[in-house]
Structure 1
Amino acid sequence: MMMTLLTFAILGVSVLLVICGLRTLAQDTYQTIALATERARKAGALIPRASFATLWLMIFALSYM
């Protein structure tokens, strides 16, 4: 019984820490994607890189179906 309570307490604290960090994670992800898109646009490689990323997203999506 004590192990179950300890496990749920650790799980609850972990979930709380993840939820508290979601905003920062979303902001960092947005900044990284915006910077990468800007660099690709300046280099003239936006369409090939977007196509490659879309290809991998489709591969992963179809592997779960």
Structure 2
Amino acid sequence: MSPLFREYQDNKANNFMYHACIPSFMLDELEHCDAGALTVQHVQQLFNVEYDFAVKRLDQYISNKQLC
């Protein structure tokens, strides 16, 4: 297996991990309920994830929302 393909698969698996633990549709619901709900600490407690994990997922979510 090519090293580039292995790196691609690793990146896809990591991306899936973030989306599986904190789905976008649930973040969408939080955003509609309360504008201040999308704080790192709130997401961390709600989804029972580590602080760095919540930061990374919110960064992904926000950057994806800006693309649309």
Q: Give the alignment's TM-score, normalised by structure 2.
A: 0.37
Q: Answer with 1 or 2: which has the greater Rg.
A: 1
Higher normalized helix content (fraction of residues): 1
Q: Give the alignment's TM-score, normalised by structure 1.
A: 0.38
Larger RCO, structures 1/2 (Cα 8 Å, 6+ apart): 2
